[in-house]
Amino acid sequence: MPVIEIVKDPSSLTLTLTAELPATVERAWQLLADPRQLERWWGPPTYPATVVEHDLTPGAGVRYYMTGPEGDRHHGWWQILSADPPRSLEVKDGFGDADGAPNPDMPSVIIRFTLEEAGRGTLMTTVTMFPSPEAMAQLVAMGMEDGIRAAVGQIDDLLGVPA
């Protein structure tokens, strides 16, 4: 399992995940840059993602949906705020309605992915920034912390790491 730690900091409204990946920074970047690889780890195992639109150009975006165990679909989107391949990506992430458009009834967050060389692999840091204490409490209560741990936990299989 690549997850080293998850730190929830209500005072700074952040949730920071740190993972160690047995791959070069360039290879780790492909986990974000290739939509077929992204969908193999972005959703937790019981809610796999399907990417339907993918453009990491600032101002563009990613649209996806996760399919639950009962066949239910949960749409999401990223608006690309900045990209510095293969080192970093910053996105606004939110829930979508049935057509994939942003759902104004749910909070959105900013997520900053950073990839840096570490030893014989890559350290991936994912900082999620919440707009308010209420948004953080709501998303954490919905299982965000466990969901991101399970999602990132799938990366070893994607990179071909033996169990």
Q: With respect to residue 32, please indicate whether it lies within any of the assigned structural domains.
A: yes
Q: What is the pLDDT of residues 33-76, one digit of tens each?
A: 999 999 999 989 999 999 999 999 999 999 999 999 999 999 99
In the chain, % of residues over pLDDT 70: 98
Domain that holds residue 154: 3-158
Q: How far apart are CA 146 and CA 61, in angstroms?
A: 25
Q: With respect to residue 43, please indicate whether it lies within any of the assigned structural domains.
A: yes
Is the model's pTM score more than 0.85? Answer: yes
**pLDDT at res. 160:** 82
How many domains, the chain? 1
Phi, psi for residue 7 in degrees, rounded to 5: -115, 120
ω into residue 86 within 30 of 0, thus cis?
A: yes
Pairing state between β 109-118 and 61-67: unpaired
Is 70 strand, coil or helix? coil
Question: Can you say whether residue 103 is alpha, beta or left, with left for phi > 0 and alpha for psi between -120 and 50 degrees?
Answer: beta
CATH of the domain at 11: 3.30.530.20
Is 101 strand, coil or helix? coil
Phi, psi for residue 135 in degrees, rounded to 5: -65, -40
Phi, psi for residue 57 in degrees, rounded to 5: -75, 130
Q: What is the pLDDT of residues 72-109, one digit of tens each?
A: 999 999 999 999 999 999 999 999 998 889 999 999 99
How far is residue 16 CA from its own chain's centroid?
11
Q: With respect to residue 145, please indicate whether it lies within any of the assigned structural domains.
A: yes
**pLDDT at res. 113:** 98
Q: With respect to residue 163, please indicate whether it lies within any of the assigned structural domains.
A: no
